[in-house]
Chains A and B, each alone.
Chain A
Amino acid sequence: MPRLTIDNREVEVPAGSTILDAANKLGIEIPTLCFLEGCEPSTSCMVCVVKVAGMPSLVPACATIARDGMQIESECDVVREARRAALELLLSDHLGDCMGPCQVTCPAGMNIPLMIRQIAAGDLADAIVTVKRDIALPAVLGRICPAPCEKPCRRAAFDRAVSICLLKRYVADADLGSENPYLPQRKTTQGKRVAVVGAGPAGLAAAYYLLQEGIDCTIFDDHDQPGGSLRYAVAAEKLPRDVLDKEIALVLRLGAEFKGGSRIGALLSIEDLRRDFDAVFVAVGKLADGDAEAMGLDIGKSGLAIDAATYQTNLPGVFAGGDVVRGRRLAVRSVADGKEAAVSIVQYVLGRPVTGPAKAFNTRIGRLKDGEIETFLAGAGDGPRITPDAADGGFSEDQARREAARCLHCDCRKPQSCKLRLHAAQYDAKTSRYQGPRRLFTQNTQHPHVIYESGKCIDCGICIQIAAAAGEELGLAFVGRGFDVRVAVPFGRSTAEGLKIAAKKCAEACPTGALALKD
């Protein structure tokens, strides 16, 4: 039984074990992409490299047999640099968007393509969960949002953008109109209280997400009714008050306490709130002269000064977001601020380091090349953008489904399980660190269960092994050599022919979004 050390910790493993096995035994995480238990190590991605004392080169942990007396370093600078380089090199040849251009542009970062797939499949119950994960007031925004998300929609390069905003409204309206509108789960209470000052979009959103984390919220507002600018600055024709009321009611039903008619000033000061609550979120809307000074908060360019990543003001425990910070009216931005500030506030009240929300790692295809839009269009419905004909300006069910069918689904189907994305974020890999001419986008959708996008393939060959082991008649093969090597079905046949039995297994095992389940 060889004994070795990893990062100065001793471990003994059965003969024939790899360095990766030894690390696992110690609970040391070594990142891997191309390694899968039960498959022959591909030694392809080289993300699992470690340094062995006395060896001139770094070695892949997944395939290097542990030998007695080995001294291994798994987190030193050389190793981290090599891992990051491996990831960045893979990313330099990784053709795909982790998130669709719409999601990237949406200030709230809503997973729009997923919502659209759920609409198309008639899964409105799932769709509202998707929507409300990022947008607390979708029925409201479905009526007033200028829809920046539709601007970069790839479909616009062909005819017109997908009507995203109205699709979201359709989901939200359907939910509000149902017997039991969606109410997210609340975590058990943490015994912490947050004062939210201002019941506009930012404040309501912050409360909505804080409550879900088990934090109690009290919302103060100088008006009698909650809604802030939504109620007092947006015309009722544009935003019917019953819709606003219903959506706000859901926030209150989640457990927020509303105290109207309580303006910060003589009666109620920030100092009082800081004393009585564990944290304060200031979202009072556009600042009037003297407001900031009265609250003792510093002023920035367009409003209160905050740390851009954490929403913290100059006063400890006081956070700010929405128009009070930005000075311009964009409800979706305010809703996003509320959601993001809530993350920082939770970190703060629970005594964790305040870092704000993690920035999602994203790769982008960027500008399409000639012919690529056709590839995207291959699986989409070919109708024109639908204009609602109902009096209230919303989609009917049939219209919503047809409009949903127009989406090109530019996003990756494995944004959560992609190991490249995971480790790239972990090692702070930059997508554009190395640049070279990019390949042509391909997307293969004719298989009933899986999608194959060769541009996302890292040539690990796990799927080839799985298909062969499953006894596929044709299976998959490496075709070509070197930089041009691609995984493909032999003899130019289709994925449907190549993967008759092992498709799902291959898609699940694929470390990236190259092979992914359709739904």
Chain B
Amino acid sequence: MKVSLTAIKWQGYNDLFDLGVDALVEKIGAQLGAVEEVIDLGKKYDGVIVAKVVSCVDHPDADRLHICLVDDGGVAKDVERNQDGFVQVVCGAPNVREGMLVAWLPPGATVPATADKDPFVLEARALRGQTSNGMLASASELALSDNHDGLLEIDQAQSVWTPEGDKNPAPGMPFKLLYGLDDTIIDIENKMFTHRPDCFGLLGVGREIAGIQHKAFKSPDWYLEDPTFPSGDGLPLTVKNELPELVSRFVAASLKNITVGPSPIWLQSFLTRLSVKSINNIVDVTNYIMLLTGQPLHAYDYDKVKALSDGEATITVRHALENEEITLLNGKTIQPRKEAIMIATNKKLIGVGGVMGGADTEVDNNTKNIILECATFDMYSIRRTSMAHGLFTDAVTRNNKGQSPLQNDRITAQAISMIIEHAGGEIASDVIDEAQLKPQKPVTVTAEFINERLGLQLTADAMRDLLENVEFTVVINGSELTIQAPFWRTDIEIAEDVVEEVGRLYGFDHLPLELPKRSITPTRKDPLLELKSQLRDRLSRAGANEVLTYSFVHSKLLERAGQPADQAFALSNALSPDLQNYRLSLMPSLLDKVHPNVKAGYDHFVLFELGKGHNTNRLDEDGLPIEFEILEAVVAASGKAAPKGAAFYEARSYLEYLLQPYGIDLEFRPVKEPSLLPAMQVFDQQRLALVYAKGSDKLIGAVGEFTPSVRKNFKLSHYSAGFNISLVGLQKSMSASSSYVPLPRFPKVEQDICLKVSTDLPFQELADFVVAELHKARDPETRAVITPIDSYQREDDPGHKQITFRISIAHFEKTMTDTEVNGLLDVVAQAAKTTYSAERI
């Protein structure tokens, strides 16, 4: 929202700016909304001087040029003057003539229209042999409008506002004193005013600027007072509002015998300064009122509307019909969405209500009669229509904040009076006012309620003053305040809204900064976040790298990983197919990141991610998707960096290391039947183990290598494996009990036992057997540690493998001998022979 400080001054509020621009901007930021930019517009006009053309003769050597002498009151420095003190300027404008008052750009001045891009600085130079000291400027060169047909003629009779009082333009006056050009534009972020439609008008912002400085603001009389309309006739008009629930008020009137032409320069300048294009006096007046109040208006050519009506000029507010088209003022033809609020005659669409008018009924230079519209549209409907058709106009910016319908009548009255002032004509119909107005309800609140929420101790009187400054009506009864918001405010509905208003006007920067009081009850840390933090720490300490990848993936990524894409939640409005589906598990994303890192030169690494998986088949009792909290990791090595053996065992060793702190006796079970879980589909069933706590049926996770097609699809080397862990599964399997065994004081004896068994005997089965037999055989007063050492298969004997365990044993009461330990191992070997036909090597 661009705010012209000069325009607010011109409305009669000069005393709001004593603070100076910098301090004011800071105050606006703290109490109104973030200021994005401050533009010193007057700077553009530095050096431009009001001058009078005292003589004007034809250039002897050029047809279109004139040689002028100008009187600048002697203000310009370092310029060549004649004996009378006048300066010679060569001018090619067709309208230049003796006696006119113009804007002179002396040598050294910058052409204002070029100031923002490629500044053009004037100098004294010869034009066909005659010296021109700078130039006389057109409105376009002065960045006032697009008009470059001739020089800007300054009206000597039109007095201008200056800090020293009103003055008439005269030679030597700085040009920027004219037309409000000595202006500062403050751009306040629009989103600050999401709930403040009134602040999309200069009066609204001016009122706030007064309020936050604790100064009283009084709106102009025409805005505060109930309007009276002169009755008119000649141009009958019918309005049918078929959408009263979306258009709460529709005010319209016709005017006849107007003369369309350019607006006065001050108005053109006003619009240009606020980045609105000057069109003609009619459109400019509607925009002026909009910029002042926030309420958009629209003018239609009456005769064009009538021609498109069946009989009398008729305006209907309705939805668009199927396949109905309209060509807009911007030249585009659209088929409006069927929910759009449309303005139509009884035959044809003539405007997208509150968004943009239609080309068919545009006010042009030949327009004699107009219809003026001032309506209130449903803000959400306006926004959707604007988004659906990509139409972003000043009217949309204001209408989608929900303007107060209580102001339409007075705004219409002011617009009519301004149109008659600038374009002549008279009112030619009754002012039609179709309205469904809800009365504003007063809010009652106590001073304590407000103080408690702000941490302040303001009196009810002080609160009343703050509110009355911005034209609220406040009645105090004891400590109770009954507050009636002014009619333009749509945001004051509950007591907390008044808290905000009081706090903001008082100054949130003056609130007491006190911490809440707390007891010393210890805080509970979140178990899941704590677990994640531990896992993350432990894996990163083991050289693994934590990654984060998108929660949304391409369905093709799921397919490449062998996962059922139809079980993935799908976005209806994804940015691209790459982000179409929620993940079922993390592994496909991790695998997708392996090859790029290999290509970047990393030949052995472990990536892991902590994240969530979702499945359309898995909803909780409230019908919400269950979030599977998972950790997944991938181990990858290529070329010479790949260790010997299968990658499975590296992944497995990571998983064992990772879960070591949780006191779980892990069991790695081969897969008997193929799993249907999506997360398992990436794994080669022959090289996959499901991970459980020993003897339990609570699945903790899985570790495995990938199927040949997954390896191919993700360009993985044969040395690739991964694991997944369900964090909930892990939490359920954790054991708090310690497995610590006291250390014997006597020395330990270490001996190896190597057993040759059938290749088909699972390692774990033999290991469990050895442990069980040893524990059976040993003296309970010992501490025994059994460690697998090796697994060896002779090339010439594929039917067998030799597995070696190291037994380390110590007694709590005595020193054990080798003979005693040998005896124990003999017992174990004998048992293995009986059960597994194991041969001791």
Q: Do A and B come from one complex?
A: no
A-binding residues in B (CB < 8 A)? none
